[in-house]
Every structure is written in C-alpha cells, then in structure tokens.
Structure 1
Amino acid sequence: MKEKQDIRYDEFGEEILYEIRHNVFILDWISYILIFLFSLFILIAFPIMISKIFADENPILVLIAVFYSPKSWLIFLLYIAIFYSVIDAYRQAFYYRKNKIYITNQGIGFECRHWFRMQKGFFKFGEVGLVKYYTPRPFLERSNCFVYYFLNYQAPSKNYKYFNLIFMPKHYHKVFLCDEYVTNQEREKLLNSIRQKTKEALESQGITISDAELKDKIKDLGYKDI
C-alpha cells in the first residue's frame, strides 16, 4: 500500500491517491508455483496408478474398498487436501494477480477477478464501509481480505476466518490480495482520511455519525487501536 507519486486516473476519471495491489514476493510466487505443479502431478498420477493396480478388479468392489477401508479413507482425505493445495496455489499465484483497492479524493474503487472476468467498481465516500481482515496463508504473511459493504448494513463480524470469509453473505463484497508492508503511521493516516471524508460526505446529506461508529465501520482488524 503506497501513496502514488505519479498522477494516475482510474477508468472513471478519478485521480488515484493510494493503491493497494496484490503483490506477491518473488520467493512466495516461486513457492506457490512449485506447490501447484507438484500437487497437480500427484492429482494426475494417483488415478493413473490406481487404475493400473486395479485394472483387473471389479470397479464396484474397488469403490466399496475405498469407502469402507480406514486406510483408503486416509488416502481419500489426503487426496482432497492435495486438490485444495492446487486450488489455493493457483489463486495466490495467478487468480488474484490483478486484484486491487484504490483511494481517490472522491471515494474507494476496486478491481478483482470473479471467475473468468474482472469486476470493477467505484463508490463515493459515505456509501460504503471498509474492513480489512488478515488471512495468513502458507508462505504469505501479508495475505489479506478487504471487505466493503454499504453503510446501511452492519459491519461484518471480527470473528470471520479465511473459510468463513469465502462464504460471507452476499451484501459483503470481498477483495483478496497480498499488500505491501506499511508503517503504523501510514496505516493510521489512511484510515483517518477515509473516516474523515466519509463523515463529511454523510454530514453533507444531513446524516450524523459518531467517531466510534466510523471506527467500527472502517477499520483494520490487525490494528484495533487505530
């Protein structure tokens, strides 16, 4: 997360002041590529190996053996774990690559991949709240989830974990990314700026909101004192 030195604009014509991009360090990226390739190899090799071992067996009996043998269940669970490793490595190395959140003088914008297309949007201050969750992944200590939501909804619970975040209610919108390291002073400056602009926008509409409410609506859960 950093303040942009050169003047840039988004596709809505807003000048970008701060930008938070998915930024995986090269060693993290290499690690996830290796995990992805190795896990994918296991996923492909395992069925081939099983088909050769049980080539002459009745497939019904093989299926029964898989579901009723404790050792087979263990292998099945391990296979599921490897399958998840493929999905998770792909997301971190490729799927989230273009995800970003940015701040302008007028509001908050985002870009994130949703299945096979990029979702883009921009919300003026006073329209949405923003909560940052920490979702540490293997090799990625800076893995986060930014949740934005319309202010008429309650702020999402601080107890959401990684798997809960994936299945949050639809009115909470998520952007997963790995951001850059910033100091507490920079983080506090950014949060206070968003809160202040949000408060000014609401007051211009005749809506009063306390500082405590703003702190609950716009927060970084890793730094509760800010």
Structure 2
Amino acid sequence: MLERMRAYFDHQAELRELALEASRRTIRASAKAIAAIHRGDQRAADEFIAEAREGLNSLAKLVADAPELADSGVVLSAQQEYGEAEIVRAAIMEKKLAEIEEIGIPYKPYLAALADATGELRRHVLDLIRANEIERAEAMLKLMETIFEFLMEFDYADAVLPGMRRRQDMVRQVLERTRGDLTLALRQQRLERALEKRGG
C-alpha cells in the first residue's frame, strides 16, 4: 500500500511540475504577444499567440490526467494571460471584442482576461492620443466601455466568482482616467482647429 501511495503522489508531483512549465511558457508567450501588438507587429503577435496556445494545449493534456489541476492557479493564470493576449489582439488589430468561443477558455479566466485587457487598451488609447489619432482613440474607448458594461452584468460573491468586484472597480477607474485623458485631447484638438481657422 505504501508503495502504491508514494507512486501516486510522485506522479502527481511530476504532473504539477510539467503543468508549471507549460503555464510559464504560456504566460511568457502571451506577454510577448501583447508587446508585439503594441509595436504593431502582427506577424510576431500571431506567432507568440500560437506558442501560447501550444502551452495551453499541453496543460489541457495534463489536466486530463490530473483533473484536480483544472481549477488550480497554475492553469487559470495561463488561461487568463492567453485570453488577455487574444482580447488585446482582436481589439487593437481587428477592432472587435473577442468572444469566449473564439478563445476557447473557461468563463472565469475569460472574465478576468477581459478586465485585465482594459489596462492594455488604455495604453493603446494613450498611444493614439500622442499620435493625434483622436477618432481611433474614441473608438477604442467605446470598446472599453462595452467591456465594462459586460463585466458589470456579473454581480456575484467572491465564493462564486473570485475577485470580480475588485476587477470591476479597477476597470471603472481605468475607464474614468482614459475618458478624462481623451476629453482633454479633444478639447486641445478643437482649440487647435479654432486657432487654425482664425489664422487662415
């Protein structure tokens, strides 16, 4: 009996180590994908997202052997980071909101990824403002508002949906700051146009 039990736990420990490595690989590739998206390098972004997807596929195989890993932080973190990369890519490069069926991750990490993606979308809005692409910045802000409205539909206790209320508050703050930055940029743009008309 002792040997059987030790063999079982040895196998569990081995699976966990493999899961950690696959999770780290997914998270690293997802972060690199987001950086490539901000650079406007779609080819690199697609390659890194494909690499992240391979990491998730490896995790899925491990979870099949050890179902208890499915709700572990190791797996959920990888799913969340991958989901964030997919959401940011769709928002910035395709001007749309990536739906859960397209990404292929469970509900909880999808919602967490949506919330975290707003920080990356704010960064993109600020880049657009600096480039004086105000109309594109406005369109991105509208997409951020859509994400916020969607997230606010999930009013559940932490026992059901851990961290959601905190994430909702975070997204609200990001949205308010971004709206303020864009409002200032619009005022500046109108002032510059008015001065140009007077000068003309």
TM over 0.5: no
- Relative CO higher for 1 or 2, CA cutoff 8 Å, sep ≥ 6? 1
Larger Rg: 1
Q: TM-score, normalised by structure 2?
A: 0.30
* Structure ranking higher in helix proportion: 2
More strand by share: 1
TM-score normalised according to structure 1 size:
0.28
